[in-house]
A and B are shown apart, each in its own frame.
Chain A
Amino acid sequence: MSTSIHLSLGQVAASLALVALAAAISFWRRTDLERDIVVAAVRSFVQLTAIGYAIKLIFEADTIWLVLALLSVMVVFGAFTARSRATKVPGAFWPLLVGLTIAAATTLGLVVALGIFDPTPRYLVPVGGMVIGNAMTASAVALNRLGDEVSDSRAAIEATLALGATAREAAEPFVRRALRSGTIALVDSTKTTGLIFFPGTMVGMLLAGAAPTDAVRLQLILLYALLGSVAISALVATGLAYRNFFTPAQQLRELGE
Chain B
Amino acid sequence: MRAVLFELRDVSLTRGERRVLDSVDAEIEPGATAIVGPSGAGKSTLLRLLNRLADPDTGTIAYRGRPLDSYEPLALRREVSLVPQLPALLEGTVESNLAYAAGLAGKQLDAAECLRHAGLAAEFAARDVSRLSVGERQRAMLARSLAQQPGVLLLDEPTSALDSEARDAIEATLRRLRGELDISLVLVTHDPEQARRLTDRVIRLG
Query: Which residues of A approach B to under 8 Å, CB–CB?
Result: 155-156, 158-166, 169, 173, 249-252, 254
Contacts and interface: CB of A to CB of B under 8 A. Distances in A.
Among B69, B73, B145, max chain A CB count under 10 A is at: B73
Contact of B77 (A155, A162, A254): A162
Given A159-B84, A162-B84, 13 more contacts: A162-B53, A162-B82, A163-B77, A163-B100, A163-B104, A163-B144, A163-B148, A164-B78, A166-B74, A173-B91, A250-B73, A251-B53, A254-B15
Given A155-B84, A155-B88, A250-B74, A164 B148 contact: yes
A164 to B, nearest CB: 4
9 contacts: A155-B88, A158-B88, A162-B51, A162-B53, A162-B83, A162-B84, A163-B105, A165-B74, A252-B53
B81 interface: yes
A161 B90 CA distance: 12
Contact of A163 (B52, B78, B86): B78
B52 A160 contact: no
B101 interface: yes
Given A155-B84, A250-B73, A164 B91 contact: no
A249 B88 contact: no
A246 to B, nearest CB: 11
B4 interface: no
Task: Please provide the 5 A-B residue pairs with the shortest distance between their CB atoms, ordered closest to farther.
Answer: A159-B88, A164-B78, A164-B77, A156-B88, A162-B82
Contacts of A252: 53
Given A249-B52, A252-B53, A254-B15, A164 B86 contact: no
B157 interface: no
A161 B104 CA distance: 11
